[in-house]
């Protein structure tokens, strides 16, 4: 049973920062922040889940069945992530590329303490509540000073002085990137695939960062609708994702794939031109429409007949760093359909794979140099009533504090109309925010 209370902070913006500082004392932390971006399918402005009561950790083998059993048995809020490599549980695929991060393929936990923020109010849900516990926590939270928080980092390794310079390396250099994209284009011209999302990793070794401060900086310059800060012991995710993967509200399933990116300009007229050009770009629209068709097909596997609909097609939304072309696809499922089965039937998301999906994933595995892991996976939660909401892990910094390894990856959709140089430049635009915060 959860004890529920409500709280009205004097200043929600300050409270959110204090709350996240306070959370650093725990080994299990999931923070989800919409940055006050309201959409038809928005639920909460922000959520904090901390302090695992129960948890599940798994490699890809039989991972979805294990999650299904855990979610069914728990019947409570659970928070966590699904890595891209769970594709190997869905299809006969493999992930053999280099992995410098070493994250488990799947991790979820049932939080003892949960904070749900909506408008100016905070709903607090505590599991196995102890008298006065919330009041004590609230006093601690409000004591947290932004500049000198009581809990910045839990590990002693992190308390040392952060190096002034982070040396970011490329896993795939420019000439090799062109060769690989041309190989991908050969597959497309041969008819093996229509489209594939090709990704490359940027990384830094023997590097220490302050995860929370890095997250705050990344979020400040990006302000995306699906931001997240994840801490599982020594592993961190600092995500500025603009993309929803999949949401379930009752019988309604929502997917909002992004395909199509344009840079922003400080000049208002030029910025508007960039946005209009993206709206009318035939290549970008064709990329988006191909993935919409793939998402419609994925959703139809579990949907009631005739219920799959495209609510928005190729609509351009503006964010701090980029303009993005987003479509919204919805469906209706039978109430008895298990939530985890819905995710499994659509995983991994089409916007990060390509079409046809299996062929694209096979080619991706051969051409990419890095195991994707949590990049292009999903972070989110299940509710006690088996609703769920998950983002797509893009525009994200991944950090293993014990290995002192920092990584961020970016990708672009390769189609028959792709120009390798333009695809490379698009990757650099997407990587800009991560590089900025790491290089300070």
The CATH number assigned to the domain holding 198 equals: 3.60.120.10
* pLDDT at residue 55, as a whole number: 98
Coil, helix or strand at residue 208: coil
Residue for token pair 């420019």 = 174
**Number of neighbours of residue 226 by Cβ within 10 angstroms:** 27
Q: Is 279 exposed, middle or buried (0-12, 13-18, 19+ CB in 10 A)?
A: middle
Give mean pLDDT in consecutive 10-residue pieces for the chain, a chain of 440 residues: 92 95 98 89 94 98 98 98 98 97 98 96 92 90 62 39 77 97 98 96 97 97 95 97 96 95 94 97 92 96 97 94 94 97 97 95 98 98 98 97 98 94 94 92
Is the separation of the CB atoms in 84 and 110 below 8 Å? no
Is the separation of the CB atoms in 245 and 254 below 8 Å? no
pTM of the model: 0.93
Rg (CA), the chain: 21
Q: Which two tokens stand for residue 74?
A: 């728990």
Residue for token pair 């590097």 = 207
Looking at the 3D structure of the chain, how many domains does it have? Answer: 1
Report the C-alpha gap between 282 and 289 in whole angstroms: 10
Instruction: Just list the catalytic residues.
Output: 243, 259
Report the C-alpha gap between 325 and 275 in whole angstroms: 9
Report the C-alpha gap between 334 and 401 in whole angstroms: 43
Distances (CA, A) of 135 to 6, 24, 110, 139, 317: 12, 19, 22, 6, 41
Give residue 60's domain range: 2-439
The helix or strand, by DSSP H or E, that contains position 409, with its residue range, turns out to be strand 405-414
Q: Which two tokens stand for residue 347?
A: 């995983």
* pLDDT at residue 39, as a whole number: 77
Q: Are strands 78-82 and 46-58 parallel, antiparallel or unpaired?
A: unpaired
* pLDDT at residue 155, as a whole number: 38
Longest Cα pair distance anywhere in the chain, in angstroms? Answer: 67
Torsion angle (degrees, nearest 10) of CA 342, 346, 348, 353: -170
**Number of neighbours of residue 217 by Cβ within 10 angstroms:** 17
164 preceded by cis ω (within 30°)? no
Report the C-alpha gap between 149 and 24 in whole angstroms: 10
């Amino acid at each position: 049973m959860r004890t529920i209370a409500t709280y009205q902070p004097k200043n929600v913006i300050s409270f959110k920062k204090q709350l996240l500082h306070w959370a650093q004392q725990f080994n299990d932390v999931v923070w989800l922040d919409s940055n006050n971006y309201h959409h038809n399918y928005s639920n909460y402005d922000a959520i904090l889940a901390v302090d695992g009561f129960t948890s599940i950790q798994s490699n890809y083998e039989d991972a979805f069945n294990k999650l299904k059993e855990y979610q069914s048995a728990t019947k409570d809020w659970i928070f966590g992530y699904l890595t891209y490599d769970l594709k190997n549980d869905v299809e006969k695929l493999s992930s053999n590329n280099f992995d410098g991060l070493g994250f488990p393929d799947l991790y979820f936990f049932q939080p003892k303490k949960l904070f749900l923020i909506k408008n100016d109010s905070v709903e607090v849900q505590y599991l196995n509540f102890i008298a006065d516990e919330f009041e004590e926590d609230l006093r601690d939270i409000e004591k947290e000073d932004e500049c000198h928080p009581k809990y910045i980092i839990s590990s002693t390794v992190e308390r040392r002085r952060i190096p002034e310079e982070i040396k970011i390396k490329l896993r795939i250099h420019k000439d090799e990137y062109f060769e690989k994209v041309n190989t991908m284009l050969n597959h497309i011209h041969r008819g093996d695939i229509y489209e594939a999302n090709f990704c490359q990793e940027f990384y830094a070794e023997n590097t220490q960062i302050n995860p929370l401060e890095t997250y705050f900086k990344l979020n400040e310059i990006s302000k995306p609708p699906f931001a997240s800060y994840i801490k599982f012991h020594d592993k961190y995710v600092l995500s500025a994702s603009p993309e929803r993967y999949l949401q379930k509200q009752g019988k309604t399933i929502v997917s909002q794939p992004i395909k199509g990116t344009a840079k922003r300009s400080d000049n208002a007229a030029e910025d508007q031109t960039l946005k209009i050009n993206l709206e009318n770009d035939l290549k970008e629209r064709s990329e988006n429409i191909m993935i919409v068709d793939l998402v419609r097909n994925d959703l139809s596997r579990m949907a009631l007949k005739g219920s799959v609909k495209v609510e928005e097609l190729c609509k351009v939304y503006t964010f701090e760093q980029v303009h993005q072309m987003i479509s919204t696809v919805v469906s209706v499922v039978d109430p008895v359909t298990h939530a985890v089965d819905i995710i499994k039937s659509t995983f991994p998301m089409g916007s990060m794979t390509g079409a046809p999906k299996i062929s694209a994933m096979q080619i991706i595995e051969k051409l990419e140099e890095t195991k994707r892991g949590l990049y292009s996976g999903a972070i989110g939660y299940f509710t006690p009533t088996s609703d769920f909401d998950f983002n797509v892990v893009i525009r994200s910094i991944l950090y293993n504090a014990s290995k002192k390894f920092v990584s961020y990856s970016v990708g672009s959709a390769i189609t028959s109309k792709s120009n390798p140089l333009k695809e490379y430049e698009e990757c650099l635009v997407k990587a800009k925010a991560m590089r900025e915060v790491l290089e300070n």
